[in-house]
Amino acid sequence: MCGSGGVGKTTLSAALALRLAEEGRRVLVLTIDPARRLADALGTGDLDNEPRRVPTERGELRALMLDSKATFDDLVRRHSPSPEVCERILTNHYYRFVSERLPGVHEYMAMERLLSLALNDEADVIVLDTPPTRHALDFLAAPDRMAGLMDESVMRWLVLPATASGWRMLEMGSDVLAGVLKRLLGPTTIADIAEFFSGFQTLWGGFRERSIAVRALLRSPTTQFVLVTAPAPGARAEAIAFLEVLQRDGMPFSGFFINRCAPPAPPDLAWPKPPEHRSTGEWERVRSEVAATLDRRRALTAAQDRAVEDLLAHAPSGSQAWRIPDQPTDVHDLPSLRRLGVALDTSGAIAALRRNG
């Protein structure tokens, strides 16, 4: 589930997951940034990287929230050749920088977490929420970038000179370099970096293999991408730009959730005669106010129709757009998520997603 900031990705991911679970599937929702009240509703309030059961009326729903540092630590623990190497990596200053602050690491760990759930969890469906568009693009590119970084030739270049003592000499020879490093990486020294790479080289192959597996998973026919957008032109333009990236990368696209749509305008009323206690003039004023409101509603519906046509004109043939109504209240608890799930069903989205996957 992708889209620009604030359009409703997290909310719709949760509503879709809840609906699918209460229809009888085993569902897992991996969310990136639920608003506090939504996290509480889902039971992910304490920001856990492990799936937690959500108290549904029927079926099985579990939710987890990505903790990229915990995911990285876990990978190091699982794949280190020995407890000593593992300890050396986990306590290394440069590793701390890499696992917490290296640009793109969050997106990459989301992919690692997704892969491990896809391979090891017994869920029938995994719903993945994503960060806003700009970051989501990073997140699509992350496995490719990581595969490039994990390329052995790059690795060899990094480790090569690098008996730790070689790097240390470099460090001693350059106060300037050490100063720059300190500013960029906090307490990290060149020796830390050398040590990190020498410990980490045993894990490299595994990272590379998994990044290739993630790329295959994202493009597999069991994966479906849904773009969340709004009828407003700005959100639409971002959705179209995002769609181009999906298509260029060969990702399987199912359709758009056009969120927060106004309900369709009611049909014309046969205007009754004025009641006895109202003057004709007064009654005419009420009638024209109601007519103006209806006109505004119709104009809104027509603009939404044009927005849908515009989106579909940019999408591959066979793509669909589902209109999700704006809810009267904020969506932050299970009953309101359930109502939104019903709206997703009524829009035809759930049947279509089921047919595709």
Ligand X SMILES: Nc1ncnc2c1ncn2[C@@H]1O[C@H](COP(=O)(O)OP(=O)(O)OP(=O)(O)O)[C@@H](O)[C@H]1O
Sign of the torsion angle spanned by Cα atoms 265, 269, 275, 281: positive
Q: 307 to each of 119, 256, 343, 348, how far by Cα in Å? A: 39, 11, 20, 18
Which residues inside 333-352 make contact with ligand X, applying CB under 6 A? 340
Site string for ligand X, 91-130 (x = CB under 6 A): ----------------------------------------
Task: Identify which range of 4-12, 192-200, 246-254, 312-320 contacts ligand X by CB under 6 A.
Answer: 4-12
Rounded to a whole number of angstroms, the minimum distance from the CB of residue 33 to Mg ion is 5
Rounded to a whole number of angstroms, the minimum distance from the CB of residue 45 to ligand X is 15
Query: Which residue, chain included where needed, has tokens 């590119």?
Result: 141
Q: Say how many residues touch ligand X, by CB under 6 A.
A: 20
Among 201, 202, 304, 327, binds ligand X (CB under 6 A): 327
Which is nearer to Mg ion, 7 or 146 (by Cβ)? Answer: 7
**Rounded to an integer, what distance in angstroms lies between the CA atom of residue 125 and that of residue 122?**
9
Among 324, 337, 344, 349, binds ligand X (CB under 6 A): 324
CA 333 to centroid of chain Cα atoms: 20
252 binds, among Mg ion, ligand X, none (CB under 5 to 8 A by kind): none
Among 132, 252, 264, 274, binds ligand X (CB under 6 A): 132
What's 160's DSSP letter? T
Query: Which residue, chain included where needed, has tokens 């906090």?
Result: 186
Among 118, 123, 162, 331, binds ligand X (CB under 6 A): 331
Rounded to a whole number of angstroms, the minimum distance from the CB of residue 187 to ligand X is 33
Site string for ligand X, 18-57 (x = CB under 6 A): ---------------x-x----------------------
Rounded to a whole number of angstroms, the minimum distance from the CB of residue 242 to Mg ion is 15
**Rounded to an integer, what distance in angstroms lies between the CA atom of residue 158 and that of residue 180?**
19
Structure tokens at 338: 């359930």
Give one DSSP letter per residue of 48-67, joined into a string: -SS-EEE--SSSEEEEEE--
Rounded to a whole number of angstroms, the minimum distance from the CB of residue 136 to Mg ion is 10
Rounded to a whole number of angstroms, the minimum distance from the CB of residue 272 to ligand X is 34
Which is nearer to Mg ion, 124 or 330 (by Cβ)? Answer: 330
Quick one: which of 328, 327, 232 has its CA closest to 3? Answer: 232
148 binds, among Mg ion, ligand X, none (CB under 5 to 8 A by kind): none
Contacts 24+ apart (CB under 8 A), 96-105: 97/185, 97/186, 97/188, 98/72, 98/196, 99/68, 99/69, 99/72, 99/73, 100/69, 104/138, 104/142, 104/145, 105/68, 105/72
Residues forming the site for Mg ion (CB under 5 A): 9-10, 33
User: Which amino acid, residue 29?
Assistant: V
Give me the residues that bind ligand X (CB under 6 A), please: 3, 5-11, 33, 35, 132, 259-260, 324, 326-327, 330-332, 340
